[in-house]
C-alpha cells in the first residue's frame, strides 16, 4: 500500500496535496467542492477584518506557462470563513482545515487572531505575509524587521498552531536572515511560496497589458515559478529548526512536481494556477501520478524521500 498521507502541527491529513489559498476557496460552494475532492484538506482565501471586493477586473489571466493575477484580496471577511469551517468541523471531527487570514497592520493581525481564538478554532491558521497586489501596500515578507515584530506579537497573543505564507526570496543572504527570524518562534510551518510579485505579461498583438489593476503588474504563478519555489522550500528546509515544517507551493501541475517539492523538504503541497486551469479533479490525477512515481522508486510513504535531495559530490 502506498500512502500520500502527512501531518502538519500533529494534525493528520490523508493526502499531502491541497489547494493554495486564493484558488477555489472564496466561498462555501467552492470550499465544499474542494472538501469533497481528493485533496487532503483546504485552506480558505485570506480573510480580512471586513469583506473586500478586491481590484477591478480583468484581474486574473492565464498564459501558456502559468498565470498573472492582481485580485487585490477579494474575500468575504474572516468571520464568514470561520463560521463555515467551524460548521464543517462539527460534521467531520476527524478532518482538519486551514484558515488563511491577513491584516493590514499588526493590530489587525491580532484582532483576526482574537476572533479565531474566541471561536475556539481547532484547525491551523495560515497568516499571509505576502500579498503582492494591494496598491500602496508593500509585501510584509520583504520587510524583515516588520516580520520579526509581527511574529513576536502573534506568538504573545495566539496559542494555536500557526504558519506563515512567505513571498519568494532570491538571495542566499535573505534566506539566512529570514531563517534566523523564523527560528525564534514556535511556528507550525512556513508556506513557500506566494506568487512572484509584480511581474508584467504583455499581449504582443494588442501591445497591451492583460490585467487592469496596477497597469498590468501582478503576481506570477505556474511553470514560471517552480524553480524559485523549490529553491525556497529547500533553502528553508536546510536552515529551519526541524520543528518548523514546510508547505511547498509553486508550479505544481503533475505528480513529478509534487515529488520534487517533497524531495526538497515539503511536508505538504498546495496547487494554485494548475487548480485554476484544471479544476478540483486535478487532485485525483496528481495523487495517482505521485503514487505511480513512488511505486516505481520503491517508496511507500512520503517520509521515505522527504528532504532527501542529493547534491553532486
Ligand atoms: O488577492 C490577491 O491579489 C493575492 C493574494 Br492576497 C496573495 O497572497 N497572492 C496573490 O497572488 N494574490
pLDDT by residue (tens digit) across 227-250? Answer: 999 999 999 999 999 999 999 999
- Mean pLDDT for 2-27 is 98
Domain count, the chain: 1
Q: What is the pLDDT of residue 134?
A: 86
Closest protein CA for atom 7 of ligand 1: 131
Does residue 102 lie within any of the structural domains?
A: yes
Residue bearing cell 515539503: 266
Does residue 64 lie within any of the structural domains?
A: no
Q: Between 94 and 267, name the one with better pLDDT.
A: 267
Does residue 297 lie within any of the structural domains?
A: yes
Kindly name the residue from 16, 25, 101, 131 that is annotated as catalytic. 131
251: left (phi over 0), alpha (psi -120 to 50) or beta: left
Residues 54-80: b if buried by 16+ CB within 10 A, e if exposed? bbeeebbbbbeebbbbbbbbbbbbbeb
Q: Does the C-beta of 69 come closer than 6 Å to ligand 1?
A: yes
Residue bearing cell 508550479: 251
Output the domain CATH number for residue 168. Answer: 3.20.20.70
Q: Give SS3 for 258.
A: helix
In DSSP terms, 208 is beta-bridged to: 203
**Number of neighbouring beta carbons within 10 Å of residue 112:** 25
Structural domain range at position 156: 6-54+73-195+223-304
131 is catalytic: yes
Q: What is the pLDDT of residue 92?
A: 87
Residues 68-94: tens digit of each pLDDT:
999 999 999 999 999 999 999 999 889
User: What pTM does this model have?
Assistant: 0.98
C-alpha cell at 172: 542566499
Q: Does the C-beta of 26 come closer than 6 Å to ligand 1?
A: no
pLDDT reading at 137 higher than 90? no
* Angstrom distance (rounded) from CA 231 to CA 225: 10
128 is in an annotated binding site: yes
45 is in an annotated binding site: yes
Does residue 310 lie within any of the structural domains?
A: no
Does residue 291 lie within any of the structural domains?
A: yes
Q: What is the pLDDT of residue 136?
A: 84
pLDDT reading at 187 higher than 90? yes
Amino acid at each position: 500500500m502506498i500512502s500520500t498521507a502527512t501531518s502538519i502541527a500533529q494534525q493528520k491529513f490523508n493526502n499531502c496535496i491541497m489547494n493554495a489559498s486564493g484558488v477555489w476557496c472564496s466561498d462555501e460552494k467552492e470550499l465544499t467542492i474542494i472538501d469533497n475532492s481528493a485533496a487532503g484538506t483546504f485552506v480558505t482565501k485570506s480573510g480580512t477584518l471586513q469583506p473586500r471586493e478586491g481590484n477591478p477586473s480583468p484581474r486574473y489571466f492565464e498564459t501558456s506557462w502559468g498565470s498573472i493575477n492582481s485580485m487585490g484580496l477579494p474575500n468575504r471577511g474572516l468571520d464568514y470563513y470561520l463560521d463555515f469551517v467551524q460548521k464543517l468541523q462539527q460534521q467531520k471531527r476527524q478532518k482538519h482545515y486551514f484558515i488563511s487570514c491577513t491584516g493590514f497592520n499588526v493590530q489587525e493581525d491580532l484582532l483576526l487572531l482574537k476572533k479565531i481564538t474566541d471561536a475556539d478554532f481547532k484547525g491551523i491558521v495560515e497568516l499571509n505575509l505576502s500579498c503582492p497586489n494591494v496598491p500602496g501596500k508593500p509585501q510584509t515578507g520583504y520587510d524583515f524587521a516588520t516580520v520579526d515584530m509581527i511574529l513576536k506579537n502573534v506568538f504573545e497573543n495566539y496559542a494555536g498552531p500557526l504558519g506563515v505564507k512567505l513571498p519568494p526570496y532570491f538571495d542566499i543572504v535573505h534566506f539566512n536572515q529570514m531563517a534566523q527570524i523564523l527560528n525564534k518562534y514556535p511556528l507550525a510551518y512556513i508556506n513557500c511560496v506566494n506568487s512572484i510579485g509584480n511581474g508584467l505579461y504583455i499581449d504582443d498583438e494588442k501591445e497591451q497589458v492583460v490585467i487592469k489593476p496596477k497597469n498590468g503588474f501582478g503576481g506570477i504563478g505556474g511553470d514560471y515559478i517552480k524553480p524559485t519555489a523549490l529553491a525556497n522550500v529547500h533553502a528553508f528546509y536546510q536552515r529551519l529548526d526541524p520543528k518548523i515544517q514546510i508547505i511547498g507551493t509553486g508550479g505544481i501541475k503533475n505528480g513529478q512536481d509534487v515529488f520534487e517539492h517533497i524531495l526538497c523538504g515539503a511536508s505538504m503541497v498546495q496547487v494554485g494556477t494548475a487548480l485554476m486551469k484544471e479544476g478540483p479533479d486535478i487532485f485525483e490525477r496528481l495523487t495517482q501520478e505521485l503514487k505511480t512515481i513512488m511505486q516505481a522508486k520503491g517508496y511507500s510513504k512520503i517520509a521515505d524521500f522527504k528532504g532527501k535531495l542529493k547534491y553532486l559530490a
